[in-house]
């Protein structure tokens, strides 16, 4: 049985969208036997391998059953585990860290899989930013990827989504302790401001109406929800420059600029991998209407809408019923 300790692959000198990293590092974990079909499951925004962010779908009797598949989970550049502003030495530390694209991440992940001896990927599965990576995998390595699953995600970041992200970004950068990224201690005021500005987008409007004050007393007030559910999580687990660099990767997301010169329709139509696209009915920023449009242009795609009030969070393991639905659909898709 392959171990699931976090491992670190050193790429050496590695070109990225904004320049170069002298010794780029990709953090990853493996589950199951390497002789089984390979499934790739990269992280989303706010996810870390060390926090167990991928485990809601990985394991025995889960969607990515480790008795059947060799599952490889990858940490995005800038998430604090792979090469990031917070862990890269001078001269590319902190605010000097170069911009990174989805294509950079996929090239790095491909190198790891080659080193692991993977000849073909049965499926790439991803939620949110992970789903955008799944789309990019199918675009960049069409002969290597048989199929992909995009959960609450999109093939490109919409203008509406980009516009929203400018809010938490501005809140962090304008804080009194951020110092243009040259802080010498964690800019807690800025990170808390980011978390508050970021908080509402993850849940559908009906979730707030039906669930916020009815969760067994966990969040008895809106203020408790903001402080504990959002500020506390980001302050405890995230570096401010990492957050901004990773957000920039998100905003840059667009498969059409990778291989198709900006022609989005042609980019979707050129994907040969079989696809399962799973938006949530109440997702406010990866809207289901966008997924319907993308599925209409993909060659071989199934649309499965998550009927939930949990909004974007429906795809990330926040609700057991949603996880059960996602698990059922992925299991059928992989069968």
Domains of the chain in start order, with CATH, are 7-157+254-334 (3.40.50.1820), 161-247 (1.10.1740)
pLDDT tens string 78-121: 999 999 999 999 999 999 999 999 999 999 999 999 999 999 99
Least Cα distance to 62 among 52, 47, 48 occurs for 52
For residues 309 and 212, is the Cβ–Cβ distance under 8 A? Answer: no
When pLDDT is cut at 50, 70 and 90, the band that residue 1 belongs to is very low
C-alpha–C-alpha distance, residues 126 and 19, integer Å: 27
For residues 300 and 146, is the Cβ–Cβ distance under 8 A? Answer: no
Quick one: pLDDT at residue 121?
98
Q: Is it true that the peptide bond before 91 is cis, omega within 30 degrees of 0? A: yes
Kindly state the average pLDDT of the residues 17-23. 97
Entry pTM: 0.96
% pLDDT > 70, the chain = 97
Residue 266 predicted with pLDDT over 50: yes
Give the dihedral of Cα atoms 50, 58, 323, 153; nearest 10 deg: 70
Return all residues near 245 (Cβ < 8 A) that are at least 6 apart. Answer: 77, 78, 84, 85, 97, 99, 100
C-alpha–C-alpha distance, residues 276 and 188, integer Å: 39
Quick one: pLDDT at residue 3?
55
Kindly state the average pLDDT of the residues 194-200. 92
pLDDT tens string 49-61: 999 999 999 999 9
pLDDT tens string 139-174: 999 999 999 999 999 999 999 999 999 999 999 999
């Amino acid at each position: 049985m392959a171990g699931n300790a976090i491992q670190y692959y050193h790429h050496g000198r590695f070109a990225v969208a904004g320049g170069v990293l002298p010794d780029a590092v990709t953090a990853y974990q493996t589950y199951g036997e390497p002789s089984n079909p390979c499934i790739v499951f990269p992280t989303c925004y706010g996810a870390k391998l060390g926090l167990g962010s991928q485990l809601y779908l990985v394991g025995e009797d889960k969607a990515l059953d480790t008795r059947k598949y060799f599952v490889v989970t990858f940490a995005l550049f800038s998430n604090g585990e792979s090469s990031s502003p917070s862990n890269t030495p001078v001269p590319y530390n902190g605010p000097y860290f170069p911009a990174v694209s989805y294509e950079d991440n996929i090239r790095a992940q491909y190198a790891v899989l080659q080193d692991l001896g993977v000849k073909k990927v049965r499926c790439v599965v991803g939620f949110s930013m992970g789903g955008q990576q799944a789309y990019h995998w199918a675009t960049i390595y069409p002969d290597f990827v048989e199929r992909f699953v995009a959960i609450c995600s999109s093939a490109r970041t919409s203008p509406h989504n980009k516009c929203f992200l400018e809010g938490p970004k501005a809140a962090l950068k304008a804080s009194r302790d951020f110092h243009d990224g040259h802080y010498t201690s964690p800019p807690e005021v800025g990170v808390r401001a980011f978390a508050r500005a970021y908080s509402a987008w993850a849940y559908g409007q009906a979730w707030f109406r039906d669930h916020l004050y009815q969760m067994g007393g966990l969040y008895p007030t809106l203020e408790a929800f903001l402080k504990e559910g959002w500020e506390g999580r980001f302050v405890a687990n995230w570096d401010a420059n990492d957050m901004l660099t990773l957000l920039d990767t998100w905003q840059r997301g667009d498969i059409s600029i990778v291989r198709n010169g900006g022609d989005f329709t042609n980019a979707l139509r050129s994907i040969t991998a079989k696809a399962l696209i799973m938006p949530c009915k109440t997702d406010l920023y990866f809207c289901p209407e966008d997924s319907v449009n993308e599925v209409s242009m993909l060659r071989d795609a199934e649309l499965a809408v998550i009927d939930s009030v949990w909004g974007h969070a429906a795809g990330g393991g926040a609700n057991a019923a949603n996880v059960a639905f996602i698990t059922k659909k992925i299991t059928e898709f992989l069968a």
